[in-house]
Amino acid sequence: MGVQIKEMAKCPPPSSRSHLKQPWKFWDSMKITAFILGSGLLMFVAFRNSLMWHLQKFWGASGFFWQTQWETLYQLLGGNEWAIFILGPALTPAFVFWGFNGILLIADMTGKPRFITQYRIQLGKNDPVSILTQLA
């Protein structure tokens, strides 16, 4: 116990000036933060302006193409908004889903093409899938 007290007596007292260094650390951090955020904001604004300029050039050149395609579709459906509503958000994703998954169903049923079936998780299990069990 006495040895510990002697060792503690050798420690220098805390500096009373250590609190004066803290504001400088704070302001240095604020300067670094302002530099990083300011540089990031400047880069963002420059990139955004360049991107908008390129997009306006692109859409200005191709805007007539897309407008013509829309008018062709609109005339094809006779201006029927209900048909446009059904074809757009409902049937288009369904056709895309069944188009891709139809390929996977055929690959499961026949085991071909090999470049698709080689990525199955359980190789050799239910390979190829029995058509009789699928119909039952």
Tell me the pLDDT tens digit for each residue of 109-135: 777 777 877 777 766 666 666 677 767
pLDDT over 70 (residue 50): yes
- Phi/psi at 122 (5° precision): -105, 85
Position 37 in a domain = yes
* 8 A C-beta contact, residue 84 and residue 74: yes
Based on the fold, state whether residues 90 and 41 are members of the same structural domain.
no
pLDDT over 70 (residue 57): yes
Q: How many structural domains are present in the chain?
A: 2
Position 2 in a domain = no
Domain encompassing residue 46:
21-76
Q: How far is CA 12 from the centre of its chain?
A: 56
Position 10 in a domain = no
Based on the fold, state whether residues 68 and 90 are members of the same structural domain.
no
Lowest mean pLDDT segment, chosen from 7-21, 27-41, 110-124: 7-21
CA–CA separation, 90 vs 72, rounded Å? 20
* 8 A C-beta contact, residue 83 and residue 77: yes
Position 48 in a domain = yes
